[in-house]
Amino acid sequence: MLYAIKANRQYKIEEDEKQKYISMGYKIAELKGNELVFEEVETEEAKELAKLKKENEKLRKELEKLKKESKKGEGK
């Protein structure tokens, strides 16, 4: 059994209704044991966030490299 959850609303749904609820902004979860386990839904926002995190990491590495090169230049 799947659950569609948004704000304070929770609905039991069938697998074939899943995409309809995702489109309306609901998070989809499945009951495993005594807890709800949410599915990862790839939204446009999530894609953009992943892209920005990757770019951020690349820029951090580039900054560290430039800092090291700058320190080497000062030591001469």
Whether residue 6 is found in the same domain as residue 28: yes
Whether residue 47 is found in the same domain as residue 18: no
Whether residue 59 is found in the same domain as residue 32: no
Q: Looking at the 3D structure of the chain, how many domains does it have?
A: 2
CA distance 65 to 34: 48
What is the extent of the structural domain holding 12? 2-38
- What percentage of the chain exceeds 90 in pLDDT? 51
Is the pTM for the entire model greater than 0.75?
A: no
- Mean of per-residue pLDDT scores for the chain: 89
Whether residue 28 is found in the same domain as residue 47: no
* Nearest one of 18, 53, 16 to 38, comparing CA atoms: 18
The DSSP annotation for 7-31 comes to TTEEEEE-GGGHHHHHHTT-EEEEE
Whether residue 47 is found in the same domain as residue 24: no
Whether residue 53 is found in the same domain as residue 75: yes
pLDDT surpasses 60 at 76: no
Whether residue 53 is found in the same domain as residue 69: yes
